[in-house]
Amino acid sequence: MELENAKTIIKKAAEKLNLSQEKLNIILNTERETKVNFPVKMDDDSTKIFTGYRIQHNSLLGPYKGGIRYHPQVDLNEVSALATWMTIKTATVGLPLGGGKGGVICNPKELSDKELENITRAFIKKITPVIGPQQDIPAPDVYTNAKIMDIIVDEYSKQTSTPIEEARAVVTGKSIENGGSLGRDTATARGGQFVLQKAIEQTQIISTLKNATIIIQGIGNAGSNFAKLISEDNSKIIAISDSKNAIYNQEGLDIKSVLEHKKQNGNLQDIPNTTTITNQELLELECDILVPAALANQITEKNAEQIKAKIILELANGPTTPEADKILESKNILILPDILANAGGVTVSYYEWYQNINKESWTAEEVDKKLKEKMFNATQEILNKKTKHQTSTRIAAYINAIERLAQKIN
């Protein structure tokens, strides 16, 4: 997602709301951009300088919230776009949080665990003045995980002389032993499932999820958990892919054995009763629901015309380009946009922070119940706004967010 794309959709939604230019400017602008350069001791005893960012886009609704990614291509424009997006995402579902994002330019595939720990500690030391449980709460993102979040807690606790118990609320996505929330690992997929259930109930585009035909692009955290959950609704997953292979069976794949095969062999090759197709063919198959759960920019002006799904559930961030959006809309395909469809993740992150702050520990059932209510309400609100403003679901979701933000501007 380019920053300009995010801004274009915000402007479109603002127009529908007749929002004043002054309020729009406040929503579009980033409150604080922090860039830090820091030395890190490497395994060969050399010292290298790394660069990291923490972009705090907007705090009208609460402390900044958003992941930290470790990637060679991290840059200011991308991190800013992602931070803007977080502001919209948290506001869309009505969380009392703002939007932020961070990243360090590095290649985790070429770094040892010790070097990754050193990078994390040095980065956190530099950004400690701008983060905190009531100020900015990072989370995992590309190539960062619970282990790195646990290191952040430890370093933040040292830097601020705060007891670990209190320092925990500075990040989410921690290990369960260190204050992580039950249900966080499946939250994105579960949230997507709730959005889908509510949207089907409301729109009747298909009568039920039972026997609905589903295609999933991507079999990582979001895709595989979604596949598991949706097969429990007795839906028929007819195709699924990873970065190398896509497999298909019109009668429905045996998802348990497909996931087991992927776990054992790390690929989707030579699975009985499946036909191998290309990733492009997968997207264009006849189906009820298409679930992009891998990368951005997968549905473009080149293939949108060929998409035959009735509903698209965007578990991935930014899988549909603005040009494709127009084509899909003209074909009357219901898009459940990323900022709603995958917001289950940030919602349970919020629950984790809430539990840490209030020294509570919820059961998996409690988390699930609260998530369901939150996602059902947000979906209902957005479908209502879609009807009210005669617009796409994506613009309706942005309208929902911008209304909440604008109310906080005096």
Note the residues at the interface with ligand NAD (CB under 6 A).
188, 217-223, 241-243, 279, 293-295, 315-317, 342, 345
Kindly give the pairing relationship between strand 47-58 and strand 99-105.
Answer: antiparallel
What is the 8-class DSSP label of residue 385? Answer: H
What's the closest the beta carbon of residue 282 comes to ligand NAD, in angstroms? 8
Q: Which is nearer to ligand NAD, 197 or 342 (CB)?
A: 342
What's the closest the beta carbon of residue 110 comes to ligand NAD, in angstroms? 18
What's the closest the beta carbon of residue 234 comes to ligand NAD, in angstroms? 23
The answer to whether 119 and 70 have CB atoms below 8 angstroms apart is: yes
302 noted as active-site residue:
no
The answer to whether 248 and 274 have CB atoms below 8 angstroms apart is: yes
Q: In DSSP terms, which residues pair with 247 in a beta bridge?
A: 240, 276
Q: How far apart are CA 252 and CA 235, in angstroms?
A: 9
Q: Which is nearer to ligand NAD, 179 or 192 (CB)?
A: 192
Q: Which is nearer to ligand NAD, 119 or 219 (CB)?
A: 219
Q: Which is nearer to ligand NAD, 245 or 391 (CB)?
A: 245
User: 190 CB contacts (<8 Å, ≥6 apart)?
Assistant: 183, 225, 229, 344, 368, 371
Q: Which residue is nearest to ligand NAD (CB)?
A: 220
What's the closest the beta carbon of residue 388 comes to ligand NAD, in angstroms? 27
Q: Taken in order 398, 401, 406, 409, is the CA torsion positive or negative? A: negative
Q: Which of 23, 65, 89, 101 is catalytic?
A: 101
What's the closest the beta carbon of residue 291 comes to ligand NAD, in angstroms? 10
Task: List the Cα angle 344/346/347 in 5-degree steps.
Answer: 60
Q: How far apart are CA 293 and CA 298, in angstroms?
A: 10
Q: Taken in order 388, 389, 395, 401, is the CA torsion positive or negative? A: negative
Residue type, 327: I
Q: How far apart are CA 168 and CA 363, in angstroms?
A: 19
Q: Which two tokens stand for residue 168?
A: 């925990």
Q: Which two tokens stand for residue 209?
A: 């999820």
Q: Which two tokens stand for residue 348?
A: 């349970």
The answer to whether 183 and 211 have CB atoms below 8 angstroms apart is: no
The answer to whether 173 and 147 have CB atoms below 8 angstroms apart is: no
Which residues are known catalytic residues? 101
